[in-house]
Amino acid sequence: MTVLEAVSLTKRFGPVTAVDGVSFGVGEGEIVGLLGPNGAGKTTTLHMVLGLTTPDSGTVRMFGRDLARHRTWALSRVNFAASYVSLPWVLRVDELLDVFAHMYGLRNPRRQVAEMTELLDLGELRDRRYGQLSSGQQTRVQLAKALLNEPGLLVLDEPTANLDPDVGDRIRELLLREAHRTGRAMLITSHNMPEVERMCSRIHFVSGGRIVATGSAVELAGAYGVDDLEAVFLRVARG
Amino acid sequence: MSQLVLDGAAARRRRIASVIRRDFFALRRDPPRMIDMVFWPTAELVLWGLVSMYLQQNRVHIAVAMLLGAVLLWQVLHRAQGEVTFGFLFDVWSRNLLNVFVSPLSTLEYVAGLVLASVVKVTATIGVMSVLAFTLYGFGVLTIGPGLVPFMAVLMIMGWALGIVAIACVIRFGQSAQIVAFILVFVFQPFAAVFYPLSVLPGPVQAVAALVPASHVFEGCAGSWPAAASRGTGWPQPRCSTSGTSRARSPSCSTRSATPGRGASCRSSARRSRRPS
């Protein structure tokens, strides 16, 4: 089953075409990476996929339904976390999760908050304010928020940016474990090539608002005649 | 998924509740916000109360009820706008807006949550102010009677509308437009004729003021504060009643009312009495 289907997405900001006819899909249980240099159009593409930005042309279908027409239905089955997004720093961890459990219309918010608190090992942090936590702890809270509604599609925009290698590794481990446990689909952007190689079964390289290459890490490295994804990235970024 | 997530009206209620819960959790954890809710309105009340006291002591005839009533009702408009706008700005400042907008919460539900939370907070603010006004100046806001309900409703609705306009400006023009949230309500203050009668305004400005809902409230209130609204302080009673008519704007009426100790039951005299002369 196709969880996400983006068809010919185009977005212009004045004279600049940020995204130019991008099409891709994410299947059930699949982890797809969206890579590219800064300003390539990755985040704009993610924002169109999440209904934050309206495309000038093209469509987004989620779980077989048009996002524009079934926004509430679709977004209650999706969740999102990004390194550049924060959460209200004055709220305690348990209050934050409670708020988002209500925001996603969960039938039993308390139970779901308790489950995520356990899954992300947040028990000791639950009565601490978000603003008092370290970057790694904040990322765990963001992931708990992103998993609250047990989304069919998890969209992560540079989820491990700003984290030290140890914490970053633990987060990747956790995401992979969750993906295998639940069969959840993920769409990830990252500038960490080893992370993408490890996590993503399929990678789309975006440059100048277009998808310029698609494949697994091994396939892409082969196609560009290089050893790893980082070398592919450099080739794409430098034209 | 269907077992995990509610749908229909129950889901809508829960999503709206999330905005209200967020607002009250934030209020509980952020004492400066709580102080802000009560401090500025109280400071304004005390200030204007002292001004009216001073004027009375210097035989400048002024209705205490008019002034304190205006201060109180102005706070309804001011706080209603502020609470809605700052509920939104809280998400902007905490970089949480994206999380809100990628959730199933619709724009309408988000605004509904902000508005409902503001009802509680404005009511709390006005409650505290009313108790203070009664304790310090013997001014009872409830003595206006059932008329208070529509007056407050109009001011709240106008405050929410201004709050939504301020939010729209920030969304459209970015964070640099936040200044709109702080000044928008004050742009309307001169037209609302909070502390003076509409007749003071120049003709063309009066026409603009007629388009501002708050001006009708403050003009209407001027004739509605009963003499009993202010008592127990030993000050002269305000000389106004609800029996004002357009005929009462005659010069003879205002002359009578301006004489201390002679109660005049006309609306214009009451409005004039609010102007230090």
Domains in chain A: boundaries:
2-77+153-237, 86-150
The tokens describing B16, both together, are 């709206």
What are the Cα distances from residue B41, in Å, to A97, A184, B37, B55, B75? Answer: 33, 52, 7, 21, 7
The tokens describing B22, both together, are 């967020």
- B258: Cβ–Cβ under 8 A, 6 or more apart, which residues? B61, B269, B272, B273, B277
Per-residue pLDDT reduced to its tens digit, A77-86: 999 999 889 9
Least confident of A28-32, A153-157, B73-77, B258-262: B258-262
Per-residue pLDDT reduced to its tens digit, A23-61: 999 999 999 999 999 999 999 999 999 999 999 999 999
ipTM value of the model? 0.92
Query: In terms of residues, how long is chain B?
Result: 277
Banded pLDDT at B60 (limits 50, 70, 90): low
Least confident of A151-155, A172-176, B179-183, B237-241: B237-241
Phi then psi for B223, rounded to 5 degrees?
A: -90, 0
Chain A residues touching chain B at CB-CB below 8 Å: 50-52, 71-73, 75-80, 82, 84-92, 95, 98-107, 109, 112, 129, 145, 149-150, 152, 155
Mutate which of B2, B3, B5, B28 to test chain A, going by most A C-beta atoms within 10 A?
A: B5
The tokens describing A109, both together, are 């918010």
Q: Are strands A202-207 and A57-62 parallel, antiparallel or unpaired?
A: unpaired
A52, A72, A100: residue with CB nearest B106: A72
Distance of alpha carbon A78 from alpha carbon B55, whole angstroms: 63
Which one-letter DSSP state was computed for residue A92? B
Instruction: Return the closest-CA partner of residue B217 out of B234, B201, B244, B198.
Output: B198
Mean pLDDT of chain B: 79
How many CB atoms sit inside 10 A of residue B62's CB? Answer: 24
Are A102 and B15 in contact (CB < 8 Å)?
Answer: yes
Buried/exposed code over B109-119 (b: 16+ C-beta within 10 A; e: otherwise): bbbbbbbebbe
Distance of alpha carbon B277 from alpha carbon B268, whole angstroms: 14
Work out the angle at residue A91's Cα, subtended by the Cα atoms of residues B86 and A137, and round it to the nearest 5 degrees. Answer: 130
Mean pLDDT, to the nearest integer, of A176-191? 91
Sheet holding A65-66, edge to edge: A16-27, A2-13, A57-62, A65-66
Strand partners, A106: B5
Superfamily for domain range A2-77+153-237: P-loop containing nucleotide triphosphate hydrolases (3.40.50.300)
Own/partner pairs, B181-184, CB within 8 angstroms, 24+ separation: B181/B82, B181/B85, B181/B86, B181/B89, B184/B81
**Chain centroid to CA A99: how far?**
21
| Nearest chain A alpha carbon to B5 | A106
Token pair 């409650």 in the structure block, residue: B127
B101 contacts in chain A (CB < 8 Å): 51-52
B91 interface with A at CB cutoff 8 Å: yes
Per-residue pLDDT reduced to its tens digit, A118-150: 999 999 999 999 999 998 899 999 999 999 999
Alpha-carbon dihedral A14, A18, A22, A24, rounded to 10 degrees:
-130
Q: Is residue B131 classed exposed, middle or buried when 0-12, 13-18 and 19+ CB atoms within 10 A define those classes?
A: exposed
B3, B19, B21: residue with CB nearest A98: B21
In angstroms, what separates the C-alpha of B20 from chain A's closest C-alpha?
9
pLDDT at residue B162, rounded to an integer? 97
Domains in chain B: boundaries:
8-273
pLDDT at residue A148, rounded to an integer? 96
